[in-house]
Amino acid sequence: RYALNRLPGEVRDFIEQLDACHDVGKCAPSSVAPELRSQLRPVVHPIVRLHPETREQLLFVNCAYTTRVIGLSEESSSALLNLLFRQVLVPESQCRVRWTDDTVVVWDNRALQHYAVGDYLPATRVMERVSLGGDRPIPARRAVH
């Protein structure tokens, strides 16, 4: 939400009408990519989605999987995605956790992006991941304003 709200209104209005291609195979190791790509094809999602429970508008792109904006030239798509990717790098858009023994963090991947900072060495990082069956992203443009 913070990343989206940082953008000027005219940019938000523009991207609310757009979709982007997401490709999980984009960041897979080259040895795994062909197998992964055959199982998981690129998909198209709205750039601005609604959270299904809170109805908040959320920026739904990330530099790991989002490859292009549908309907824009390669140059325009790249420039727009780079602008959007930078929004999550702003400290005000981030939550940092100071890990101690028995720290538990739960987050909703529909509403944020996870990035592991490698600042825990020489300690080990132990993580358990729970994924629930996903919902289809609801385009914000379908919402009643």
12 pLDDT more than 70: yes
Which residues, other chains included, contact 16 with Cβ-Cβ below 8 Å and sequence gap of 6+?
A: 46, 47, 48, 57, 139, 140, 141
User: What is the Cα–Cα distance from 89 to 93, expressed in whole angstroms?
Assistant: 7
Give me the half-sphere count of Cα atoms (radius 13 Å) on the Cβ side of residue 4.
Answer: 22
Q: Which CATH number applies to 2-142?
A: 3.60.130.10
145 pLDDT more than 60: no
Confidence (pLDDT) at 37: 66
Q: Which two tokens stand for residue 71?
A: 């309907």
Domain residue ranges of the chain, discontinuous segments joined by +: 2-142
pLDDT tier at 26 (50, 70, 90 boundaries)?
confident
Task: Find out whether the peptide bond into 139 is cis, omega within 30 degrees of 0.
Answer: no
